[in-house]
Amino acid sequence: MAIKKVKPILCSYLPNNIISNEIISQMVDTSDEWIKSRTGIEERRICKDDYSLVDLGSNAALEAIKKGNIDPAEIDLIILATSTPDDLFGSAAKIQYRIKAFNAAAFDITAACSGFIIGIITASQFINTGIYKTVLVIGADVMSKFVDWQDRSTCILFGDGAGAAILKSTIKQHILGFQIKTNGELNSELTLSSKDLLQQNIAIQVFNRQYNFIQMNGKEIYKFAISKVPEAILNCLNTYQIQIEDIDWLLLHQANIRILKAIGEQLSIPQNKILNNLYKYGNTSAASIPIALDEAILENKIQDNDLIIMAGFGAGLTWGTVIIKWKDKLN
């Protein structure tokens, strides 16, 4: 009997326009040394011209379709995790059309840097109920379009990118457990908020909405990440009775190398088990986890039956954890 390939198919897509710390140092009062030592970031990718979120997400999805040798008509559902859609009505439908997945339902979810994890968890619910067999989850963000490039406390951190995962119905054997948490009380610590402007010269009083740049209290977000994320990971492991020693890889949202290290230390997970590609791409929000997973697979780091803990965290504030067993065969 032929072996069924059941692992999720992963692909990532990054703009080829590289912005180094040196370039940013010419724009704001900072330095390569400061950015590297405080964040671990050396460069990031930024979309040029009018390259859109739909372009990024579609390209990642098309690569995954090609890699998995999948007929786009097989896809039942597309979940696009993004906080930076091209269209506030959602961008998933446009991606559905672009990749010719004409049978797929498609919708966006907004959960900032936890978006991909929540997308995977959502996909697994549809799969577990037997409603859908093939689900495409895309994590994509064009943070560069929402960053104030004159604000050194935020512009050094973010980059653009997309990652796509195609989950087949057998994925239920891989997701061993998950947890999603939210604390809206701290919402104002990290926002991409809007302001309403009174429209002049119209008979009725109406306000039109405009978006502000990303605003962040870096210290508070740092403290939140290094306290809440390890706590959630431990809770999740306890719930499913998995020991920390059994974890092969820790894949955290790529926000800051110091956050990755601090969480690893608190969990007693050695540095060589923590996946990190932050130095190349910075914080790509919902895209960071699938991009890092795709790269780890390409580098043959992740082996069959490895246990991976993935955790996203960010605005909301939201944080989410998934435990995955990576395997090739049904057994």
Residue 84 touches ligand COA, criterion: CB under 6 A: no
How far apart are alpha carbons 269 and 271 in whole angstroms?
7
d(Cα 249, Cα 203) in Å, to the nearest integer? Answer: 61
Closest C-alpha among 84, 91, 118 to residue 106: 91
Q: Is 253 a catalytic residue?
A: yes
Q: Which of residues 289-328 bind ligand COA (CB under 6 A)?
A: 314
User: Which residue, 8 or 115, is less far from ligand COA as judged by CB?
Assistant: 115
Q: Which residue has its beta carbon closest to ligand COA?
A: 218
According to DSSP, the residues that pair with 194 across neighbouring strands are 211
Of 127 and 286, nearer to ligand COA (C-beta) is 286
- Min dist CB 146 to ligand COA, Å, is 13
| Beta partners for residue 138, in sequence order | 80, 164
107 is a contact residue toward ligand COA (CB under 6 A):
no
* CB of 38 vs ligand COA, minimal distance in Å: 5
Amino acid found at 219: K
Side-chain-side CA neighbours of residue 137 (13 Å): 31
Shortest Å distance, C-beta 77 to ligand COA: 26
User: Does residue 255 interact with ligand COA by CB under 6 A?
Assistant: yes
283 binds ligand COA (CB under 6 A): yes
152 scored as a contact of ligand COA (CB under 6 A): yes
Q: Per rule CB under 6 A, is residue 20 in the interface with ligand COA?
A: no
- Residue 222 binds ligand COA, judged by CB under 6 A: yes
Q: Where are the alpha helices (DSSP H) in the chain?
A: 21-27, 32-39, 53-67, 92-98, 115-128, 152-155, 218-239, 257-267, 278-281, 288-298
Q: Is 177 in the site for ligand COA (CB under 6 A)?
A: no
Q: Considering the rule CB under 6 A, would residue 187 count as an interface residue with ligand COA?
A: no
Rounded Cα–Cα distance for residues 88 and 247 (Å): 39
81: contact with ligand COA by CB under 6 A = no
DSSP 17: -
Of the residues 11, 47, 113, 236, only one is catalytic, namely 113
83 lies in the site for ligand COA, by CB under 6 A = no
Note if 59 is an active site residue: no
Q: Is-cis flag, bond preceding 275, omega within 30?
A: no
CA dist 286 → 72, 84, 125, 276 (Å): 23, 10, 19, 15
Nearer CB in complex with ligand COA: 72/85: 85
Distance CA 199, CA 164 (A): 40
User: Out of 21, 59, 277, 283, which one is annotated catalytic?
Assistant: 283
Quick one: DSSP state of residue 86?
A: S
Q: Which residue has the tokens 């790509």?
A: 284
Near ligand COA by CB under 6 A: residue from 17, 20, 30, 215 = 30
Distances 245 to 268, 271, 288 between C-alpha atoms, Å: 9, 13, 25
Kindly name the residue from 21, 253, 256, 277 that is annotated as catalytic.
253
Query: Quick check: 110 binds ligand COA (CB under 6 A)?
Result: no
Looking at residue 98, its amino acid is R
Half-sphere exposure of 123 (CA within 13 A, CB side): 37
146 binds ligand COA (CB under 6 A): no
Is 11 one of the annotated active-site residues of the chain?
no
* Residue of the chain from 256, 276, 284, 318 that contacts ligand COA (CB under 6 A): 256
Decide whether 112 or 127 has the Cβ nearer to ligand COA: 112
Q: Return the active site residues.
A: 113, 253, 283
Binding site for ligand COA (CB under 6 A): 30, 34, 38-39, 113, 152-153, 156, 216, 218-219, 221-222, 255-256, 283, 314
